[in-house]
Structure 1
Amino acid sequence: MEITASLVKELRERTGAGMMECKKALSENNGDIDAAAEALRKSGLAKADKKADRVAAEGRIAAAQDGGKAVLVEINSETDFVAKDDNFLRFTDAVAQAALASDAADAEALKSAKVASGETVEEARAAVIAKVGENVLVRRLVRIDSPDTVAAYVHGGRIGVLVELKGGDADLARGLAMHVAAMNPPYNKASDVPADFVEKEKEIELAKMSDKDKGKPADILEKIISGKINKIVNEVTLYGQPYVLDTDKTVESTLKAAGAEVVGFQRLAVGEGIEKVVEDYAAEVMKQAGLA
């Protein structure tokens, strides 16, 4: 069968593969476009397997929301260049929508969810690896499904936040999501701070005190330590922090004025917890030249 330019073009639009790859796949499958598409998909899976061990610490946080149902997905690439590639961006948006439509609780379960094209997320991942030439990893998924007000906020594609708010309104929920993105509080309220954290901070504050202060009456010493601990707890809790959109108020006082309560929040940042390989090219050249 003759492999026409229009047939190559159709396969290229369907798969996103390169022109020469499409022509080769069609030739090897006697012009059968379905078989050629399947061959290209399998080729993509092989390429994905070869790249699987390469560190992917760049990427994007993608969000999708429908009312009180919202998801964040962290999808990693090896370089920031690919993280801005249109193929990668379309893939991340498709995965976020697939996550929203599915009941997947984590990235592993998300692999079998279907994207709009009908492929599974894992199949679509293999295809995008073939297009961009880098390892791509669907690393994390968080979700909220609630009758309360939910805000999904992504800052620059690098940080994503979900906030569940009881009472208040959508504007307040979004403002709080922006606050969490900026301030990254480890805990929501003082009651959420682990007791061992508080005890450790008490030990540290006591060790930092002068002998003169340590010699003060027990009740006075307790007030001094309690004051320091309260300040630390405020620093590590959403409720205790100054609200970024109105720093004259704390988040707690802002919520109280609105008759609202933060039920919980989720925050993802691209690459957090991944050990990145830092290449020192100057040192490598010096070493090869025998100068180091």
Structure 2
Amino acid sequence: MANITAQMVKELREKTGAGMMDCKRALVETEGVMDKAIDYLREKGIAKAAKKADRVASEGMTHVASNDKHAVVLEVNAETDFVAKNDDFQKLVNKIANHLLRTRPNNLEEALNSDIEKGVTAQEYITEAITKIGENISLRRFDIKEKSEDSASGEYIHMNGRIGVLVILKGTNDTAVAKDVAMHVAAINPQYISREDVDAEELAHEKEVLTQQALNEGKPANIVEKMIEGRLSKWLSEISLLDQPFVKNPDITVGQYVKEHHATIASFVRFEVGEGLEKKEDNFVEEVMSQVKKD
């Protein structure tokens, strides 16, 4: 058996763009012959998939799944929004969700390196899907919540997976109430459960901004403090789930709605596809001109 060194693996990675474990496996299979290892990766479709890895994957879909004890919300990214309608992509997302529920990894790295099938890691499974579907695909993030006997999980998917929400209520088993709250979270996008959860540094920063606004308006110093109190309270009610007017009945707050059902909000997670990611904007004219110059 050939002695496969780290330098050989590094060289093959640089030539093909494939992952470290894939390169090592290729070298082992071809007894360290570099050209054969490259062919091996190409034949397996791994090198082809790796070349797609530098493409911006800011589309895709969110998904929510659950069993008796846990629930998970996740985001899987791809290059175009069309892929969310692809059966193979949807099956991939569902398989990843079930894998996360089964293994309950602590972080993304652990999730990708764990076996989704016998002898196949989640990352390797995704790489195979890249070759089949033809787009760069990645598991971007996930959040797993534990359920108890006195809790209810609300799951809501909006716009074919564009937004995915998971809500856990304590003190009730009424999943319909939990789903109502999940729908509200999808629509209004609160940042915190209650105003008491707002980070002190963020609160201080907002107060500073509001103070400067009031002073710039030329308000007398003796009434600025009261103005700030009112504006700060309004800002807190806008970002805090419990204080927000309930979308299905704006006459009451979300806090009042869950209290009517003898429940409290334990947690919520809201994922929106591509939020925070830099999206590639194609310039069709430049693309055509570049091809003309090549010809």
> Shorter-chain TM-score category?
0.7 to 0.9
In structure 2, the CA distance between the partners of 1:246 and 1:68, relative to structure 1 (3 Å rule), is farther
The DSSP-based 3-state class of the residue aligned with 1:234 is helix
The DSSP-based 3-state class of the residue aligned with 2:54 is coil
Q: Distance in 2 between matches of 1:172 and 1:41?
A: 52
Q: Deviations over 1:116-135 (max 9, x none)?
A: 68743222212211111111
- Who is 2:156 aligned against? 153
Q: How does 1:1-292 map to 2 (within 5 A)?
A: 43-115=44-116, 119-147=120-148, 148-155=151-158, 156-168=160-172, 169-209=174-214, 214-215=219-220, 217=222, 220-282=223-285, 285=288
In structure 2, the CA distance between the partners of 1:120 and 1:289, relative to structure 1 (3 Å rule), is closer
In structure 2, the CA distance between the partners of 1:114 and 1:152, relative to structure 1 (3 Å rule), is farther
In structure 2, the CA distance between the partners of 1:289 and 1:99, relative to structure 1 (3 Å rule), is closer
How many aligned positions are there?
250
Could you tell me how far 1:212 is from its partner in structure 2? 8.6
In structure 2, the CA distance between the partners of 1:110 and 1:41, relative to structure 1 (3 Å rule), is farther
Could you tell me how far 1:40 is from its partner in structure 2? 9.0
**Aligned partners of 2:64 and 2:166 also within 8 Å:** no
In structure 2, the CA distance between the partners of 1:236 and 1:200, relative to structure 1 (3 Å rule), is same
**Aligned partners of 1:98 and 1:113 also within 8 Å:** no
Q: 1:107 corresponds to which letter in structure 2?
A: L
**Aligned partners of 1:45 and 1:123 also within 8 Å:** no
In structure 2, the CA distance between the partners of 1:130 and 1:260, relative to structure 1 (3 Å rule), is same
In structure 2, the CA distance between the partners of 1:133 and 1:216, relative to structure 1 (3 Å rule), is closer
Could you tell me how far 1:41 is from its partner in structure 2? 10
Percentage identity across paired residues of the two chains: 40
Q: Distance in 2 between matches of 1:282 and 1:63?
A: 39
Q: Deviations over 1:9-47 (max 9, x none)?
A: xxxxxxxxxxxxxxxxxxxxxxxxxxxxxx799713332
Could you tell me how far 1:243 is from its partner in structure 2? 0.8
In structure 2, the CA distance between the partners of 1:114 and 1:289, relative to structure 1 (3 Å rule), is closer
Q: Distance in 2 between matches of 1:284 and 1:80?
A: 20
**Aligned partners of 1:60 and 1:270 also within 8 Å:** yes
**Aligned partners of 1:213 and 1:221 also within 8 Å:** no
